[in-house]
Structure 1
Amino acid sequence: MGRSFGFLWSSTALSNLADGVLKVGAPLLAVSMTRSPTLVSLVGAAATVPWLLLALPAGAVADRVDRRRVMVLANAGRAVALSVAGLAALLGLLDLWVLLAALLLAGVAEVFADTSAQSILPMTVPREQLTRANGRVSTAQMIGNDFVGAPVAGLLVVALPAVVVGAPALLYGAAGLLLLGMRGTYRMNAPRAQGRTLRRDIGEALRYLWSHRVLRSLAVTAGLLNLANSAYFAVFVLWAVGDGSRIGLEPDEYGLMTTAFAAGAVLGSLLSGRAAGRFGELRTLVGAWLVNSLLLIVPVIVPSPWTLYPAAVLWGVSGGAGNVLVISARQRLIPAELLGRVNSAYRLVGMGGMPLGAALGGVVAEFAGLGAVLVGATGVCLFGVGLVWRALSDRISRPLTSAPALSDISGSR
């Protein structure tokens, strides 16, 4: 893996460290402002609703322009939005609505940055090294998101709340600067018909995704899993943190829980390729999703730190392995000239329900209690895993093939 991948990996590490501080720090800041499940759940919704609105245009942009340039500009945008929020915190002007606005703007930039990042990676490594490269990227993501960023966020909320949004701003800015070290151009050179519209590009991607049985099944299942997990974790902080919670963690202990998750995720990311080689990619992926879903019920049945931390490690192992395998599968199955658009169409289906899930989790918790949300989310996840197993039962043990042409996709039905 060459110089360009090294800069991409380093940028990913910094941007995901920023993500980790925000992922834990923003809900903890919100809890310090309100104990309303509905209002706290808006933090998760603000960070994810841009995927619902902008995933398809972001994919089309990634296939039209230099993907590195998109990532640089997106990181700069995140840095500016969070810098303003950090300044507001220093001046004593940060409230829940200012926090939500900053997270929403950062989420808009994230859609463009992440879509281009997954599309640019196959341009930096040979196809046969995709799973290995994605394993390294996923490891950097997990270390930044959870192993380092999460406990740091727990400490910052107590010590200096302004840094919870200010530090990620600096990290996103540095991540954008690192991308400038990548050599060459990262724009697709495939010829386009004159007068081709953005709408036509998006339509082509949607048709490809819906006609490809494996990608379609994975996208629908990912959508159910993400919707349910968003509902679950939008209110889980109320189940886990504070004097009135069932588990009774302190904010810094909640950060340690996500550190335990990250430790498992690093292991899962590194072992995913070996497991896929032994058991098959689809079988390993579906198995990882099943284990991850079953583990959601553990903190509900036994709400104790002694069971939560081991469960978090296993969450990480199964989640990390599943993430690497599903990204590698998409990069292998989607043609290079369609990768940005089909990736974004997949993520619209897979992630578009996340803001709805986060908001729904808050509303249901308000009226039916936190336990109803956690149990219901577990049931939805298990249903989704059963759905993909049934849909792909004849493909589970077969290796994934390279991307077919759009004209040949009917053969994948």
Structure 2
Amino acid sequence: MAGQGLGRSFAFLWSSTALSNLADGVLKTGAPLLAVSMTRSPTLVSLVGAAATVPWLLLALPAGAVADRADRRRIMAVAGAGRAVVLAGAALLGVLGWLDLWVLLAAVLAAGVAEVFADTSAQSILPMTVPSAQLTRANGRVSSAQMIGNEFAGAPVAGLLVGLAPAAVFGAPALLYAAGALLLRGMRGTYRPIPAGTHDSPPDPPGLPAQHPARRPLRQEIGEALRYLVAHRVLRGLAISAGLLNLANSAYFAVFVLWVVGDGSAMGLEPAAYGLMMSAFAAGAVLGSLSSERASGVFGESRTLMGCWLASSLLLVVPVVVPSPWALYPVAVLWGITGAAANVLVISTRQRLIPSELLGRVNSAYRLVGMGGMPLGAALGGVVAEFAGLPAVLLGAAGVCVAAVWLVRHALSDRISGALTSQAALSDIPGSS
């Protein structure tokens, strides 16, 4: 079992994550396919992707603050149940013949809002579920479940459901989200973060209502997280490097399909062959997720992270200078391995460095910095390709990635291990009992 050796609570958390990510994969692939059957307008079809991602830009910081105020398991359960109800309603409308593009967009948007709260709490609850020394291993298993659900299983299931019964594209994820929410009940204890300075507070006098620390305005709590991120050299360096890497990779892959698919492309692949490349990438990502713990044990976390980032950046050059399928497929596997391993290590590092009472908010602030440039990168890649050609975008993106790793190497390589060592004195016992 995936949770073997990590405890009962992690086993239930992992199982819930696996089902929820399978639902994510079905919805992520199925919703655009349904949209294409309703309209041929590229603008309208693109609204599906926008509806799924815009909640992250608008709600990431508030979701982090909520994760630091309330029981994180309960937030995840409520978000899962909410998605189940919304999608079940959309499925019912589909059965009645009332499903149109606007209903689809509303359902995807509502599911995206719930996803922000669920995913933010999911990253914040893991350090309360397993010992600190086991975080890399646990994150590797969670990451592999996410990749299998989102890429391997979700896409083909969605394609089958669209052909059989469009309403099932919403009905099947609704059942999976509901089951995932129910599985969270198997996690023992409470998962509400304890505010700093309250661990040794004297008990409340008998006969009086329990006293809780006064809550500050939400804006102040979010501001505290932003200041913490800016002041922490390791976390700030990780966020800046992730932001640059994501921006450049978004530009690269926004136009990469034009380089490899079609008669006029450099490789001339068929769409099915491109899909095979994505499967190769997903296979590598599962392998990278599961092997990250062993690699970091051999080379150290900072060296492994820097090596994965640098290797992934240099590999971007290979399809440009060697435009052959024989080179593309091995590169796709290596992209998956290095990208997933780096992702596991970065998440584990954040979970160890950020205090529990700040974890939701600082994680959200980090993800805004790290992921905020992705829409800009995709748009920039298209514009540059229009005027300067595809090779300029692909090679330029690779150069930005290498520069990003070079710029942050000193800030990270000598400090991650030291910072993690200084955190080892903190509790290694799950704070959920």
TM surpasses 0.5: yes
Distance 1:380 1:111, change over 3 A: farther
* TM-score (normalised: structure 1): 0.84
Distance 2:143 2:388 in 1: 36
- Unpaired runs of 5+ residues, structure 2, are 1-5, 199-211, 426-433
Q: CA deviation at 1:294?
A: 2.8
Distance 1:130 1:66 in 2: 20
Range moving further from structure 2, 67-76 or 297-306: 297-306
Range moving further from structure 2, 361-370 or 102-111: 361-370
State whether structure 2 residue 151 is matched by structure 1 residue 131. no
- For residue 364 of structure 2, what is the aligned residue in structure 1? 344
> Which residue of the other structure, out of 223, 234, 237, is the alignment partner of 1:203?
223
> Which residue of the other structure, out of 249, 261, 264, is the alignment partner of 2:270?
249
- For residue 56 of structure 2, what is the aligned residue in structure 1? 51
What secondary structure is seen at the aligned counterpart in 1 of 2:76?
Answer: helix
State whether structure 2 residue 414 is matched by structure 1 residue 382. no
Distance 1:98 1:381, change over 3 A: farther
Amino acid across the alignment from 1:282: S
Q: CA deviation at 1:30?
A: 5.9
What secondary structure is seen at the aligned counterpart in 2 of 1:188?
Answer: coil
Alignment of 1:155-234 (within 5 A): 155-156=160-161, 162-190=167-195, 191=198, 193-234=213-254
Contact 2:306-2:413 within 8 A present in 1 as well: no
- For residue 72 of structure 2, what is the aligned residue in structure 1? 67
Distance 2:393 2:227 in 1: 34
Distance 1:22 1:404 in 2: 40
Amino acid across the alignment from 2:293: G
Range moving further from structure 2, 340-349 or 376-385: 376-385
1:338-384 Cα shifts (integer Å, max 9, x gaps): 11111111112112223333455556667766665544443433332
Distance 1:367 1:193, change over 3 A: farther
Amino acid across the alignment from 2:109: L
What secondary structure is seen at the aligned counterpart in 1 of 2:246?
Answer: helix
Range moving further from structure 2, 3-12 or 133-142: 133-142
Distance 1:28 1:372 in 2: 32
Q: C-alpha root-mean-square deviation of aligned residues, in Å? A: 3.3
1:188-246 Cα shifts (integer Å, max 9, x gaps): 23247525221221111111111111100001111122233334445555666677776
Distance 1:81 1:365 in 2: 40
Alignment of 1:371-410 (within 5 A): 373-395=393-415, 400-403=420-423
1:120-147 Cα shifts (integer Å, max 9, x gaps): 1111111221111112111211222223
- For residue 377 of structure 2, what is the aligned residue in structure 1? 357
Distance 1:244 1:35 in 2: 24
Q: CA deviation at 1:71?
A: 0.6
1:79-118 Cα shifts (integer Å, max 9, x gaps): 34444555566638444x6554443332221111111001
> Which residue of the other structure, out of 5, 8, 25, is the alignment partner of 1:20?
25
> Which residue of the other structure, out of 102, 109, 116, is the alignment partner of 2:121?
116
Contact 2:144-2:286 within 8 A present in 1 as well: yes
State whether structure 2 residue 87 is matched by structure 1 residue 77. no
- For residue 323 of structure 1, what is the aligned residue in structure 2? 343
- For residue 209 of structure 2, what is the aligned residue in structure 1? none
Count of aligned residue pairs for this structure pair: 402
What secondary structure is seen at the aligned counterpart in 2 of 1:184?
Answer: coil
- Unpaired runs of 5+ residues, structure 1, are 406-413
Contact 2:303-2:413 within 8 A present in 1 as well: no
